[in-house]
Amino acid sequence: MKVVIVGGVAGGATAAARIRRLDEQAEIVIFERSGFVSYANCGLPYYIGGVITDQRELTLQTPESFFARFRINVRVRHEVTAIHPENKTVSVKNLETGEQFEEQYDKLLLSPGARPTQPRLAGAEHERIFTLRTVEDTLRIRQFVERQRPRSAVLAGGGFIGLEMAENLRELGVEVTIVQRADQVLPPLDYDMAAQIHTLLRSHGVRLKLGSAVAGFESSGEQVVTLLEGEEPLRSDMVLLAIGVTPDTGLAREAGLELGQKGAIRVNDRMETSLPDIYAVGDAVEVEHFVTKERAVVALAGPANRQGRIAADNICGGDSRYSGAQGSSVIKLFELTAASTGINERSAQAAGLDYDKVILSPEHHASYYPGSQTMTMKVLWDKNTLCLLGAQIVGRGGVDKRIDVLATAIRSGMKATELAELDLAYAPPYSSAKDPVNMAGFMVENISAGKLKQFHWQQVDDLPRDGSVTLLDTRTAGEYRRGHVDGFRNLPVDELRERLGELEASKPVYVMCQTGLRSYVACRVLAQHGFDCYNLSGGYRFYEMVTRERLACASSYPCGMER
């Protein structure tokens, strides 16, 4: 059997190694357009920033090491220019010599990945405008930074690459402005969770222009002028286009393969395309989303690796199945970590799901042990089935551990209430006896059992201030003085039972505290004395953080710019 693989990195290289482990006799050929077949593309921004100092650390395998260990024929700087399914051949061009030839296959695996989205913008060919996809791109940017010593950069796009580049360039002392068409960065997060990232970025001197769109570029001496729609242009020494990625599927389209959304290659759960003996994996394919069961394009390294393994199994006569992409992701930004899994509120609404959510702010380990840090968690579930839909976490410590537990819970089909039953490891330096994941489960239990009713930060400002409802802030007097919501009177939770006579039982009561815990206790007291009580999800801390961010971005000055 002869297997031809188009593209390396996560999907193609993984598949090649797996095929060899399953079939010692197979002839395996990889054609890779770039000069590197297997590299740590997620580490590219950190080489530019100097965190990774040795270029060799980016290269996971070389053509020589692949051949030495697996007897796989890797041909870098070779571009497959056409697929001929009827003949089971591909046309190949040697980019070094210009030679063109045909290569026969019994099985063909496509792993072309995705290319940086490049809208047709005037002036985008400027030599100081970069994209970041390959090792060659990384070396080009690193060389530019070392030689030209840029003092300013505009990053078009606020996704993973844009934000990681923002951090690394800031650490080098470069002034950074992020231009993002949406009103937030990090699309896997909901706006309210991304608000913490906005605050973090501004605190590190990153300027944010949210809700702004790039219209084109002009040259001005040694600088690039980034033109914005309806706004003043930005001048900088360099520009990085990180608007997103587009499946690189021109070959597949020309060969007649069925395509789906964003032009991605449509595959089944065996990673088979619409044509016989042709498989596809990675950022270029459309798969089923594990949570919504809808078709989706999920450009992440983890899914690409798993898809490569599954395709390899099936190429070798097995019957492995891909159960869908969940979209679990994590990113380090300065001192914070942000992570998500499953779907967010926007996706739940788009899918027409009847969902609910809890927001909590637990410590990442026992509060009495030195160094505990508050994290913010948001967990979504289906109100009808109680099945987990998704989770988002932002914090300084323990984020990756909790998101992985929640990702596993979603994959196993757990109900949100069952999070309360998880038997998780505990020691004061690592967690609390009631782990944050357990706490989320307790909250869902209370809501589903009718012991707790919630209201959310979006509703706070719209609550009537005419006396028809009671608005309570159950924090201490000192906390209240340091900041509170207009219309909410201060009644500390520890004084509540003795002062119930001050409240009218006929009026609904809306209660808040700093994080939602003390106000929950207050609601349980009030409910058992006949009051109709609602607890502010996430508490004053969450409300104040999100509304402060909204005000910053609604001002006449761009986000991150001082008056």
Neighbours of 373 (CB within 10 A): 15
β-partners of residue 289 are 325
Contact 144, 127 (CB under 8 A): no
Q: Which two tokens mark 141?
A: 């940017």
Neighbours of 229 (CB within 10 A): 10
Handedness of CA 473, 531, 458, 377 (dihedral sign): positive
With H, G, I as helix, E, B as strand and everything else as coil, classify residue 259.
strand
Contact 221, 191 (CB under 8 A): no
Say how far apart CA 465 and CA 15 lie, in whole Å.
Answer: 63
Residue tagged active-site, from 42, 523, 553, 559: 42
The DSSP letter of residue 222 is T
Say how far apart CA 546 and CA 548 lie, in whole Å.
Answer: 5
Contact 434, 424 (CB under 8 A): no
Contact 145, 255 (CB under 8 A): no
Q: What count of Cα atoms within 13 Å lies in the side-chain half-sphere of residue 202?
A: 19
Q: Cβ-count burial of 59 within 10 angstroms (0-12 exposed, 13-18 middle, 19+ buried)?
A: middle
Handedness of CA 104, 106, 111, 115 (dihedral sign): positive
Amino acid at the residue 555: S
Q: Give the CA distances from residue 492 to residues 86, 431, 469, in Å, rounded to whole numbers and listed in that order.
A: 77, 28, 18
Q: Is residue 42 flagged as an active site residue?
A: yes
CA 497 and chain centroid, separation: 45
Handedness of CA 180, 206, 246, 190 (dihedral sign): negative
With H, G, I as helix, E, B as strand and everything else as coil, classify residue 470.
strand
What sections of 316-411 are H helices per DSSP?
345-350, 399-411
Q: Give the CA distances from residue 465 to residues 455, 471, 520, 544, in Å, rounded to whole numbers and listed in that order.
A: 16, 8, 22, 19
With H, G, I as helix, E, B as strand and everything else as coil, classify residue 149.
coil
Residues classed as catalytic: 42
